[in-house]
Chains A and B, each alone.
Chain A
Amino acid sequence: AQSVAQPEDQVNVAEGNPLTVKCTYSVSGNPYLFWYVQYPNRGLQFLLKYITGDNLVKGSYGFEAEFNKSQTSFHLKKPSALVSDSALYFCAVRNTNAGKSTFGDGTTLTVKP
């Protein structure tokens, strides 16, 4: 079985400050890890993914994520938050046997001016 935990329901940061949205996972075998963002009443938009290689992955809109195998974590980061980054963020994991992706419960990011 595979699972994802996003330990924080909400993250609040001030505009211009760095942000981190946490994600830990559990999966058998090598994980494929993904981050998505959802704006109100919209579908999910893909931000970035880790498949293999460099542990630091860069994605859309200035976001990056660091894969840490020993801590089974894949935290989403951005050096300088924007008000427009305010949204719901989902971490997802898929094992190498393909098929379903399992999503975390989501973290609401609020960036205040």
Chain B
Amino acid sequence: EAGVTQSPTHLIKTRGQQATLRCSPISGHTSVYWYQQALGLGLQFLLWYDEGEERNRGNFPPRFSGRQFPNYSSELNVNALELEDSALYLCASSWGGSGNTIYFGEGSWLTVV
């Protein structure tokens, strides 16, 4: 069974541009989570989607946004890129329910120059 898949693996953008990252959850999972892992800052929660709806949002500016599609895949959009947005963006998925394990993809490296 395929795990969580993310694309692209690496992305280089210029400050001010927009970046779009994509995530396909494990088959049958309805929840998708996005985390940012910047160097030295640990994992910071970005967004949680479940059944196509945004359920929770971390402490990030509005230029971080996303959506979940009917097939439960998701994309994360980052507008007006800033240098400090350079990080590993991790997507995770789970079945609904708080006790269920979230499983991570390998991440997308975003570098803003």
- On A, residues with C-beta under 8 Å from B are 32, 34, 36, 42-46, 49, 51, 90, 94-106
Contacts and interface: CB of A to CB of B under 8 A. Distances in A.
B43 A43 contact: no
B96 interface: yes
Contact of B105 (A34, A43, A46): A43
A43 B98 contact: no
Contacts of B58: 100
Nearest to A100: B45
B98 A95 contact: yes
A49 B48 CA distance: 20
B97 A100 contact: no
B107 A104 contact: no
B96 to A, nearest CB: 7
Contacts of A43: 4, 90, 104-107
B98 A102 contact: no
A97 to B, nearest CB: 7
14 contacts: A34-B102, A43-B104, A43-B105, A43-B107, A44-B90, A45-B104, A46-B102, A49-B99, A97-B98, A98-B96, A98-B97, A99-B48, A101-B33, A102-B45
